[in-house]
Amino acid sequence: MKRISKIIACLAIVALAATSAFAAEGGNPKKGKYLYKKNCKVCHVAGAAGGALTPLSKTQRQWDRFFEKDGHKAAPEAIKSFSEQDLKDIQQFLYDHAADSDQPETCG
pLDDT, position 70: 79
Mean pLDDT, all residues of the chain = 82
pLDDT reading at 91 higher than 80: yes
For residues 90 and 71, what is the distance between their CA atoms, to the nearest angstrom? 12
Distances (CA, A) of 24 to 15, 46, 77: 17, 26, 23
Question: Which domains are present in the chain?
Answer: 24-108 (1.10.760)
Task: Say if residue 59's pLDDT is above 80.
Answer: yes
Q: Name which residue leads in pLDDT, 84 or 108.
A: 84
Alpha-carbon distances of 61 from 30, 46, 68, 80, rounded to whole Å: 20, 24, 10, 23
Q: What is the CA radius of gyration of the chain?
A: 17
> pLDDT at residue 63 above 60?
yes
pLDDT in tens, 11-35: 444 444 444 444 678 899 999 999 9
Averaged over 97-106, what is the pLDDT?
Answer: 92
pLDDT at 79 over 50: yes
